[in-house]
Structure 1
Amino acid sequence: MKLIDLFKSKSSFFNKDLKSKKEVIDFLADNLLNQKIIKSKAEFTKAILAREKQDSTGIGDGIAIPHALNKTVLDATVAFVSLKKPIEWGSLDNKPVDLIFMIATNGTDGEEHLVALSQLSTHLMKSEKQAQLRKTKTFTEFKAIFAEEKKTEVKLVATNKHFDVIGITACPTGIAHTYMAQEKLLESAHELGLTAKIETQGRRGTEDRLTKEDIDNAKVIILAHDKAIAGLDRFNGKEVIDTTSKDAIYNGKKLIENFKDNPKKVVIKAAKSKDDDNSDFSLKKFKDIKGNLLGGVSRMLPFVVAGGIILGLGFLIDSLTGTTGGNLGVTNEFAGILSGLGKTAMFMMVPILGGYIAYSIVGPQGLMPGIIAGMIADGSGGFLWGKFSNDNMWAALWSRILPNNIPTTSGFIGAMVGAYVAAFIVFGLTKGMSKMPKSFAGVRDIVFIPLLSLIGVGVSMLALSIPLGYAMFGMQEGLKWLAYQNLIVLVAGILGLMMCVDMGGPINKIAYVIGTLTVGAAANKGIYIEFIQNGTTYNYASIFMGASMAAGMIPPLGIALCTVVFKKTWAAKERDAAKANWLMGAFFITEGAIPFMVSDPKRISVSALVGGTITGLLVGALEIGLGSPHGGVVVFPLLRSFLFEGQLGVAMGIVFYILAIIVGVAIMALILGFWKTADIKKGKLLVESEIVKKEKVRVAKKAIRA
């Protein structure tokens, strides 16, 4: 829809005598109600006034654009009134207003709200149109002012094909001021005989994106924004004017003219953005498998950690009150409250994994289909997979069309594959619709791409669910076979090694995710190996979680212990920094070891691998299971050694677990300490004390020679 189509003759008024802001809003709202454009004046004016409280809609130059997107609106309309005498509106430039445009939309009939605000703001930037509006007496003249103009094409500099002036504009709402600032900077540049390209980061996403070539060859760079700019690191090392959108709107020409001497000029030093929603949209993103998987896992972890700990507390409360077996966590009322909250968070674990893998590849448009892919893979909600029941006609809606007993839930494996499928679908749809007119951009992004990507990912996951389900089933059966062959110790050792390979990197996260799949597995379709002891059923596979957490505690604790036992092999600053590792290690924060590994990768990595592997093997050999995915010492009461029965299993589980960690930490600390000591003696490693000693010798020799 075009802006001109939103104006109506019976809702446009000229040269009215209204005395205040409230009187103007009431006058226009009454008219909209009488014209049956809105259903409720009270509800509509409430929405208008709520928007005014957020920030004045007086955009300056005597113009105000009050607006509301509200369900009471029946027909998208822009009402207009010009006043005999200007009134106070609290405008950006502190001047009274005499031209008021009231936008009324409901959000259900396309992007009228976005079109109205952005296009209206752009038109009203031009002083000649403002003058025409103040002289206009009829609706015909009024509409003629907003008739579509042939847009002047921005021309490149003939000699080198580069732009003289570039910039970015962005405001919190991403509508009016974003596009007004862009228009003003383009207009000012052209008045000065310069070419310009201005990127906008608004409600439509990033438009007119600046390339590296644009940035490297520009003479003037202006960042006019009222919120954080995505991709700021593109300007690292460049001199830019960093200002507000308001400054660009009212002083655009001065900013360009006085670029060299402008006090707002700064040199950008921004960190590389890890989650740049507006970064280049290309197939290269699909190749970064490590980064994409970590993007999903890092966003999934809060759900797993918080949900798992709360779920574990529910289990713990029931355990302390004497509950056993399958009713653990749901018998005591307070335990049930905690368990329900924990389960809700854990329920979202796989969908969030899928959603944010897709998000890391194609940005926000990938979030919805990625989450749906994860939910389909996990069977979340019970709508798609399971067994049909006459008592619940909404259950197993997809399973009904498949043969019985076919595995269809694929958990995190399906979520990862489904996320890539969702990203490819979004990528294809976005590229295919890239040439749609800007007026349809909102409908494309809010309706077409989400709708078609949902259908696409649904059809794809329906086809993929059987092979993916068999893949997950095969992994579970393989782990069960290892357990029945008494080889679960080997798996625990491998998980312990993986936890210490990159200490928070992708290999560490794979091991950790395997462990988390055993937490609440019977309900969450994770890895479940039934173990019955005195009539009570346990998940024997929880040993994987026990091995993962114990091994993950080794690197930070091993480094902390080494700095105490082998004090002379560490610099004073390193010893001070390592003190924090006692706490981080105790609470299962493996990443505490990363700064030390970066400075000494060989010694710390090898010693951690040995310590973590031995700890994993011990946890497996002592059959220690853990029912919580995080927490370190906090969740030790949830440990259990399956070698013992009843409460003795809990007690011995805690004792053996602490023993396994102590052994792993001691081994790592000894290997690391003796290795560093040997290398210091060989002259391969210098620490603070050795450097000081050598400096004293050098000074003494110099003094003797003198």
Structure 2
Amino acid sequence: MELTKLFQNKLSFFDADLKTKQEVIDFLVSKLKTEKVVTDEKIFKEAILKREGEFSTGIGDAIATPHAINEVVTKPTIAFMKLKNPIEWGSMDNKPVSLVFMIATNDTSGDTHLAAIGDLSTVLVKEEIRLALMEVKNFKSFISALEVKVESKKIAPKDGVYDVVGITACPTGIAHTYLAAEKLEEYATNLGLSVKIETQGRRGTENKLTQDEVDNAKVIILAHDKNIAGMNRFSGKQIIDTSTKDGIYNGKELIENFGKDGKTITGKNVSGNDEESGGEFSLKKFAEVKGNLLAGVSRMLPFVVAGGIILGIGFLIDFAAGNGEAGDIFGSVSPVAGWFSAIGKTSMMMMVPILSAYIAYTIVGPQGLMPGMIAGLLADGTGGFAYSLPNKEGVFADWSGLWSKLIPGNIPMNSGFIGGIVGAYAAGLIVFGLTMAFKKFNKNFHGVRDIVLIPVLSLLGICLTMFVINIPLGYTMYGIKSGLIWLSKQNLLILVAMIIGFMMCVDMGGPINKIAYTLGTLSVGGGLGSLNDNPQLTTIMAAAMAAGMIPPLGIAVSTIMFRKVWASKEKDAAKSNWLLGAFFITEGAIPFMITDPKRIAVSGMAGGTITGLLVGAFKITLGAPHGGVAVFPLLKSYLVSSSSAAIGLGISLYILAIVVGTFTMATILGLWKTIDVKKGKLVIA
């Protein structure tokens, strides 16, 4: 497929008078929906914004290439916009953007379109074409500019030996991968050096380097933002391991300073994997704590959210049946309630195992999935096979407490999410060590190695590890539980609730938000203690959900209270935040956060802190980990002892806490924007 075939007259816009990155994204996504290129505007926009959240698609030289690979795309298409005035995009070169190419593609249209999209980076890297694009006035001149023939000079290798070799790779593999390759080739050629760059992009590995080419190269540069395959080729070699951004903008210096500065390292330390082993193994992955934890939490959330909502249905049925005083068995007294609660409990039971499994998977690939999950199961005591308590006569049930029998006394062995995280890293280390140990295994026995030896040995290794570390980590978890129980008895949970409220609004879906939310779910799931003994611990969950509702609601209210300081498109976009906020979907604030991070975050943190403080002060508890207004009937306030009064008061005071936090955020945000508009710091379209 030719590159120009991906463009349409109706999806090409010239001298557009838009002011912000968000306006451009909203406009182009809307037009893609109008032209039936995408079937769901919301899903595709979320995919575009998610990609922007990873790192900016502003590739420099006044160009941005926002892109997404999603099943809602009906046919591969590139929407183009030439802006009347440059806008800020957070580009790699810190310069504004004038040319925007929005790439919409999927995984079901074959490979020819991927080749064409890859060619876009090849075209945009050429200065003559960029200058021509700056002057286009209509679709015809635009296509003509793309088709300008520019002769590229390349220096032939001597006896098949290249001076410079390298690999480029980015997460989506459709933009920065090819741009970095083109720029590195350009830098090397301008220095009078022969060059060959392998690309590991969406269309597969191209221009693949041979072992001889690697062995004889004078300079080796790996410019990548994800793990790269075939790292065995660079074992023991001197290389530069860097990002695509560094390759694009500093390639000349990287080549000239090769071996002369601290960027040159040995191949064994690079983030990647050996193609023959089939896994992704690198010590660098262990240091990416934030990314590893977020990967685990993101995989865990569907179990918690879906399970929590269905568990809430079981609670509601029991409440309607008059079983509100049932304590720990609330939700299982009525047979119908029990049916729903069984589903919810089963799903939520998988929280820590899934968290651990996917942390390990992120670090070492598929081989880490099994030992990571086992680590989570053992950390949480799921199933009771390893850990359980004996009955009153000191007898264990059949097939239960098989490890507990080996441990004297009542040593706490449930290490919960802390043990799950530590266990995931331990599983990763074990798999990494075994893979390195079997690296030179005879190829004829690779199947036995990967299917039998590594799984069996990693299972035994992680179980022995968890048997040992569950004791100190169990005491750690016991200490956290005891501390929270003490705070509860001293009426100091208000401080915890306030901190949770603040954390929920710091990054609105990021790691800090997820830590706060995880603590809340543990209070509901029993991970922080028995709800019979400490019913007020679920104040943590109540605070997390209330504060998580503030950012989207605060933005929606602010657009009404301070209409003049919001663009018309922002006001339209904020309408959906009423529904998103009501159902505890904090991420509804993210599109606004991208365009105005400081004002949104600070005002949100103020509102969330006040809401958390009020929830704690009103002693409100919540027995479900998600659902927003759908689970309000499960709220209780321990300011009164009567069950029915506690529910009524809990719902009323909870709404009050949310309203106060929402108006606090809306007021701060609106006044801040008003002041900045008057000072000329903010321009409203």
1:68-467 pair list within 5 angstroms: 158-160=160-162, 281-323=281-323, 324-326=325-327, 327-388=329-390, 390=395, 392-467=397-472
**Counterpart-to-counterpart distance in 1, 2:573 and 2:333:** 45
User: SS at the partner of 1:444?
Assistant: helix
The 3 A distance-change label for structure 1 pair 590 and 157 is: farther
1:392: Cα distance to partner?
Answer: 2.0
**Counterpart-to-counterpart distance in 1, 2:673 and 2:200:** 53
Which of 580, 600, 606 aligns to 2:576? It is 580
Q: Which amino acid aligns with 2:384?
A: G
- Given that residues 307 and 347 in structure 2 are in contact (C-alpha distance below 8 angstroms), is that contact kept between their aligned partners in structure 1? yes
**Counterpart-to-counterpart distance in 2, 1:505 and 1:654:** 28
For the pair 1:652 / 2:649, whether they are aligned, the reply is: yes
Q: Which amino acid aligns with 1:652?
A: L
The 3 A distance-change label for structure 1 pair 200 and 554 is: closer
Q: Which amino acid aligns with 2:447?
A: G
- Given that residues 280 and 364 in structure 2 are in contact (C-alpha distance below 8 angstroms), is that contact kept between their aligned partners in structure 1? no
- Given that residues 636 and 646 in structure 2 are in contact (C-alpha distance below 8 angstroms), is that contact kept between their aligned partners in structure 1? yes
**Counterpart-to-counterpart distance in 1, 2:199 and 2:649:** 67
1:511-550 pair list within 5 angstroms: 511-521=516-526, 525-528=527-530, 530=532, 539-550=535-546
**Counterpart-to-counterpart distance in 2, 1:346 and 1:156:** 62
Q: Which amino acid aligns with 2:583?
A: F
Q: Which amino acid aligns with 1:299?
A: R
Bigger Rg over Cα: 1
- Given that residues 519 and 629 in structure 1 are in contact (C-alpha distance below 8 angstroms), is that contact kept between their aligned partners in structure 2? yes
The 3 A distance-change label for structure 1 pair 379 and 166 is: closer
TM-score (norm: length of structure 2): 0.60
**Counterpart-to-counterpart distance in 1, 2:318 and 2:348:** 19
Cross-structure match for 2:629: 633
**Counterpart-to-counterpart distance in 1, 2:578 and 2:295:** 28
**Counterpart-to-counterpart distance in 1, 2:529 and 2:648:** 25
1:400: Cα distance to partner?
Answer: 1.1
Q: Which amino acid aligns with 2:387?
A: W
1:421: Cα distance to partner?
Answer: 0.3
Which of 478, 481, 498 aligns to 1:476? It is 481
- Given that residues 499 and 612 in structure 1 are in contact (C-alpha distance below 8 angstroms), is that contact kept between their aligned partners in structure 2? yes
- Given that residues 411 and 472 in structure 1 are in contact (C-alpha distance below 8 angstroms), is that contact kept between their aligned partners in structure 2? yes
For the pair 1:559 / 2:555, whether they are aligned, the reply is: yes
Which string of whole-angstrom CA distances, capped at 9 and with x for unpartnered residues, describes residues 150-181 of structure 1? Answer: xxxxx9964227889999xxxxxxxxxxxxxx
- Given that residues 615 and 657 in structure 2 are in contact (C-alpha distance below 8 angstroms), is that contact kept between their aligned partners in structure 1? yes
1:438: Cα distance to partner?
Answer: 2.3
The 3 A distance-change label for structure 1 pair 373 and 210 is: farther
Q: Which amino acid aligns with 2:342?
A: G
**Counterpart-to-counterpart distance in 2, 1:488 and 1:375:** 29
Cross-structure match for 2:153: none
**Counterpart-to-counterpart distance in 1, 2:331 and 2:209:** 53
Cross-structure match for 1:661: 658
- Given that residues 562 and 670 in structure 1 are in contact (C-alpha distance below 8 angstroms), is that contact kept between their aligned partners in structure 2? yes
**Counterpart-to-counterpart distance in 2, 1:622 and 1:352:** 34
Which of 596, 599, 604 aligns to 1:603? It is 599
1:595: Cα distance to partner?
Answer: 1.7
Q: Which amino acid aligns with 1:333?
A: P
RMSD: 3.5
The 3 A distance-change label for structure 1 pair 584 and 436 is: same
User: SS at the partner of 2:523?
Assistant: coil
**Counterpart-to-counterpart distance in 1, 2:482 and 2:438:** 45
- Given that residues 504 and 512 in structure 2 are in contact (C-alpha distance below 8 angstroms), is that contact kept between their aligned partners in structure 1? yes
- Given that residues 389 and 396 in structure 2 are in contact (C-alpha distance below 8 angstroms), is that contact kept between their aligned partners in structure 1? no
The 3 A distance-change label for structure 1 pair 507 and 166 is: closer
Which string of whole-angstrom CA distances, capped at 9 and with x for unpartnered residues, describes residues 184-214 of structure 1? Answer: xxxxxxxxxxx9999999xxxxxx9999x98
Which string of whole-angstrom CA distances, capped at 9 and with x for unpartnered residues, describes residues 367-425 of structure 1? Answer: 10000000110001101112246462311111111121111101100000000000010
The 3 A distance-change label for structure 1 pair 403 and 280 is: closer
User: SS at the partner of 2:636?
Assistant: strand
**Counterpart-to-counterpart distance in 2, 1:438 and 1:686:** 64
Q: Which deviates further from its counterpart, 592-601 or 293-302?
A: 592-601
For the pair 1:505 / 2:513, whether they are aligned, the reply is: no
- Given that residues 492 and 547 in structure 1 are in contact (C-alpha distance below 8 angstroms), is that contact kept between their aligned partners in structure 2? yes
1:479: Cα distance to partner?
Answer: 1.0
The 3 A distance-change label for structure 1 pair 658 and 197 is: closer
1:517: Cα distance to partner?
Answer: 0.5
Q: Which deviates further from its counterpart, 300-309 or 592-601?
A: 592-601
1:530: Cα distance to partner?
Answer: 4.3
Pairs aligned (count): 444
- Given that residues 314 and 336 in structure 1 are in contact (C-alpha distance below 8 angstroms), is that contact kept between their aligned partners in structure 2? yes
Cross-structure match for 1:682: 679
- Given that residues 200 and 228 in structure 2 are in contact (C-alpha distance below 8 angstroms), is that contact kept between their aligned partners in structure 1? no
**Counterpart-to-counterpart distance in 2, 1:157 and 1:528:** 74
- Given that residues 279 and 366 in structure 2 are in contact (C-alpha distance below 8 angstroms), is that contact kept between their aligned partners in structure 1? no
1:666: Cα distance to partner?
Answer: 0.4
**Counterpart-to-counterpart distance in 2, 1:476 and 1:654:** 27
1:316: Cα distance to partner?
Answer: 1.1
User: Which 5+ residue runs of structure 1 have no aligned equivalent?
Assistant: 1-154, 168-194, 202-207, 218-228, 239-272, 532-537, 689-706
1:512: Cα distance to partner?
Answer: 0.3
- Given that residues 559 and 574 in structure 2 are in contact (C-alpha distance below 8 angstroms), is that contact kept between their aligned partners in structure 1? yes
1:581: Cα distance to partner?
Answer: 1.2
User: Which 5+ residue runs of structure 2 have no aligned equivalent?
Assistant: 1-156, 170-195, 203-207, 218-226, 230-242, 248-271
1:528: Cα distance to partner?
Answer: 3.7
- Given that residues 168 and 244 in structure 2 are in contact (C-alpha distance below 8 angstroms), is that contact kept between their aligned partners in structure 1? no
- Given that residues 476 and 528 in structure 1 are in contact (C-alpha distance below 8 angstroms), is that contact kept between their aligned partners in structure 2? no
1:651: Cα distance to partner?
Answer: 1.3
User: SS at the partner of 1:540?
Assistant: helix
The 3 A distance-change label for structure 1 pair 334 and 197 is: same
1:59-70 pair list within 5 angstroms: none
Q: Which amino acid aligns with 1:637?
A: P
Q: Which runs of 4+ in 1 moved over 3 A?
A: 155-158, 161-167, 195-201, 208-211, 276-280, 388-391, 525-531
Which string of whole-angstrom CA distances, capped at 9 and with x for unpartnered residues, describes residues 337-372 of structure 1? Answer: 101111111111110011011011111111100000
1:230: Cα distance to partner?
Answer: 9.4
Q: Which deviates further from its counterpart, 491-500 or 437-446?
A: 437-446
The 3 A distance-change label for structure 1 pair 687 and 315 is: same
**Counterpart-to-counterpart distance in 2, 1:551 and 1:506:** 16
Q: Which amino acid aligns with 2:680?
A: G
**Counterpart-to-counterpart distance in 2, 1:378 and 1:601:** 37
**Counterpart-to-counterpart distance in 2, 1:166 and 1:677:** 45
1:686: Cα distance to partner?
Answer: 1.2
For the pair 1:590 / 2:568, whether they are aligned, the reply is: no
TM-score (norm: length of structure 1): 0.59
Q: Which amino acid aligns with 1:551?
A: A
Q: Which amino acid aligns with 2:376?
A: G
- Given that residues 528 and 541 in structure 1 are in contact (C-alpha distance below 8 angstroms), is that contact kept between their aligned partners in structure 2? no
**Counterpart-to-counterpart distance in 2, 1:666 and 1:425:** 51
